[in-house]
Amino acid sequence: MSWWFIVALAAGCYAFKVLGLVIIGDRQMPPVLNRCLALIPPAMISALIALNTFSVGQHLVVDARAAGVGAAVIAAWRRAPLIVIIILGAAVTALVRAL
């Protein structure tokens, strides 16, 4: 893959954001739409995490990554600092792979 392709995609994303600002301008969106738009980033991140945790290519797999994500989810639920969540998830994944 070429870096020019990545730069073109980044420019296209930026152009879409600017276009949205130009079209919407100072108008306020309905509150229902604002609430729905606020839910999109967490849903996308959750989908990416699930996809990368439970799949290899076109196959579903449950391996050490699932244990690491589970430990990270519990740490996040217990309101641990982000660095602790990341280190705990990586450590549990490495420990399960070593076993």
| DSSP line for 36-77 | HHHHHHHHHHHHHHHHHHHEETTEE--SHHHHHHHHHHHHHH
Q: How does the average pLDDT of the chain come out, rounded?
A: 92
Beta-carbon neighbour count of residue 96 at 10 Å? 15
For residue 81, pLDDT beyond 80: yes
Q: Has residue 64 got a pLDDT over 90? A: yes
Higher local confidence (pLDDT), 28 or 98: 98
* This prediction's pTM: 0.65
Percentage of the chain beyond pLDDT 90 is 72
Tens-digit pLDDT profile for residues 7-21: 999 999 999 988 888
Band (pLDDT 50/70/90 cuts) for residue 41 is very high
